[in-house]
Amino acid sequence: MEKFTGKVWVLGDDIDTDIIIPTEYLALKTIDDMKQYGFCPLRPELAGQIQPGDIIVAGKNFGCGSSREQAPEIIKALGIQCVIAKSFARIFFRNSINNGLLLIEQPNLHDDIKEGDEITVVMNEHVDYNGKQYPIASLPENLMSIIQAGGLVKAMRKLNGLD
Amino acid sequence: MGETVIEKIIRNNVGKTVKPGDIVTVNVDRVMIHDIFIPFVAEKFEEMGFTKLWDPDKVVLIYDHLVPASQLDDTRHFHTGDAFAKKYGMKNVHRSDGICHQLMTEAGYVKPGNIVFGTDSHTTTYGCVGAFSSGIGYTEMASILGTGTMWIKVPETIKVVIEGELPENVMSKDIILRLIGDLGADGATYRALEFTGSTIKNMTVASRMTMANMAIEAGAKCALFTPDEKTAEYCEIELNDFQKSLVGDEDATYMKTITYRAEDFVPVMACPSQVDKIRNVSELEGTEIDQVFIGSCTNGRLEDLKAAAEVLKGKKVADYVKLIVTPASRKIYRQAIELGILDTLAEAGAMITHPGCGLCCGRAGGILTDGERVVATNNRNFLGRMGTSKVEIYLASPKTAAACAVAGKIVSPEK
């Protein structure tokens, strides 16, 4: 996954976990049951429109709010390849890494991007959009190792000699 | 080189000096799992291949969000939790005693200087007794249950100094709301908040709890209050040398220091639908309301109910306004009965519910619909949290909330 391209959905600042998945749907049995309600308080139609491989570009503090891990799981289940935001909330960041959802911090892309456009992400280097390159950082080693193991569950299965 | 409080707690745990940015593996002193996430924790724990808990006595399971069940599927969470607790020999299970963040310190599970994680973002609450506590997801919780350890990045610290005496109609809720407004919803992301100054020293542990609880609303990883004689009394312990040392050193390095004069605070509200959208109550006066909620892990403690009762004594809740009062724990509920507080509230027209999360997470009775407005003492006013996405939620102190219940509209509490 050194380089990939996807269609962009644009969201604003402070997209909280109650927007990503409201509490009333958290007791549904599976992530697949819940995912149709993703982002419903803000854009009820969005979950039905997202196609596998799409990318979310958002403003600052994406994922703020509760510790519900269903938030990154639903985004992943909807087929989103990665979320690019100006910044992420702490718990959401950890939960995403542990579930193998790629997050990228980029301060300027959100100001320029138009919903529906395509962008190309070159991992650990930059994002290509409209003939312009937006630089991105590489992930710290300890986080990369969890992602490389395929998430925290797989890392622990390895620790317990199961895989 | 001096240390901040969080640096001292982590040093004590890992046995070596740390600085912000260091990534270290800590030994966890206690963990908390609540009813919403126990099925997911149980599933991940077994999927990871663990066959026993690292230490069953260090694991606390609390049913609070879904108690008593309001939707048919909620009971599955209790059955899964009970089966998990039985299978792995857990004794610390609370099935209807109150809200997790109230019980963790009230029941003595968290002591000053501990490192504690919980499957809830408001786990920052235990900083009120000088513990480093933070929220995590269920996958990380499952890995702690098996290993007893977790990696963390040592955070930078923002120091908040408050000196002086608060005005009569101002509560610690007004302080933390003002701070969140000044910092912004992401102003303390990845950082520790450290509170100090004479106002903080004179504050009850319950008031400190309100502030630590809401630190996450500015994105903070944790919020820390230096343990003192009030902490010792609340925790029913004598502080040891390490616990007494949990004060920020003069020569410690802070990312920044914010200073307030207590006399400058006024009653404030967080307006729909962001916690950092802070306005003075005086600017909002006259806005009509449909409901008032006094409760939650933020403001459902005895002093909060008492403050509300003082405002409501001899008065009546306005026509058409529903006042819902939810004590944070069974212990508080019983104390409030004994002191006549619940009677005063009921006489004024309040509906008093069982201890638990209640309306805060929109799961118990009291949800609202399009165009309705609620003044609430909890910690979040996000879209759709208490009903439809067109409900307007204003967050306030218990004094302000009670005054609004009487007036039927937003008003400032009397000075």
Residue with tokens 């745990």: B13
Nearest CA in chain A to B21: A140
B66 vs A27: CB contact, 8 Å cut-off?
Answer: yes
Q: Please report residues of A whose CB lies closer than 8 A to that of B23.
A: 140, 142
pLDDT digits (tens, 9 = 90+) for B285-307: 999 999 999 999 999 999 999 99
Pairing of strands B149-153, B23-27: antiparallel
What single string gives the DSSP state of each residue in A31-76?
HHHHGGGTTTTT-TTHHHH--TT-EEEE-SSBTBS---THHHHHHH
Partners of B36 on chain A (C-beta within 8 Å) are: 23, 26-27, 68
pTM: 0.92
Task: Share the mean pLDDT of chain B.
Answer: 97
B387 touches chain A (CB under 8 A): no
Q: Residue B257's closest CA among B183, B310, B205, B350?
A: B183
Q: Taking Cα atoms as reference points, which of B174, B263, B164 lies closest to residue B211?
A: B174
Rounded-to-integer distance, Cα B199 and Cα B165, Å: 6
Q: For B344-375, what is each residue's pLDDT tens digit?
A: 999 999 999 999 999 998 887 899 999 999 99
Phi, psi for A53 (deg, rounded to 5): 100, -10
Inter-chain CB proximity B186 and A41 less than 8 Å: no
B213 and chain A: CB distance < 8 Å anywhere? no
B48 residue type, one letter = M
Q: Which residues contact A85 (CB under 8 A, 6 or more apart)?
A: A56, A57, A58, A59, A60, A62, A103, A104, A105, A106, A110
What tens digit of pLDDT does each residue of B382-402 get?
999 999 999 999 999 999 999
Amino acid identity at B90: M
Residues A94-100: what's their mean pLDDT?
90
Residue A148: is its pLDDT beyond 80?
Answer: no
What pLDDT does A21 receive? 95
For residue A141, what pLDDT is reported? 73
Torsion, CA B181, CA B295, CA B347, CA B391, rounded to 10? 60
Alpha carbon of A99: minimum distance to chain B alpha carbons (Å) = 8
Say whether the ipTM exceeds 0.95. no
The rounded Cα A158 to chain-centroid distance in angstroms is: 25
Per-residue DSSP letters for B32-88? Answer: EEETTTHHHHHHHHHHTT--S-S-GGGEEEE--SSSSP-STTHHHHHHHHHHHHHHT
Cβ neighbours for B261, distance < 8 A, ≥ 6 positions apart: B162, B163, B164
Give me B348's structure tokens: 């004024």
Q: Identify any residues that bridge with B53 across adjacent strands, giving them in sequence order.
A: none
Q: Closest approach of chain B CAs to the CA of A24, in angstroms?
A: 7
Q: Is the pLDDT of residue A138 over 90?
A: no
pLDDT of residue B72: 86
pLDDT at B69 over 70: yes
Within the 42-71 window of chain B, which residues sit less than 8 Å (CB to CB) from chain A? 44, 47-50, 65-66, 71
Nearest to A75 by CA among A108, A111, A104, A99: A99
For residue B288, the 8-state DSSP code is B
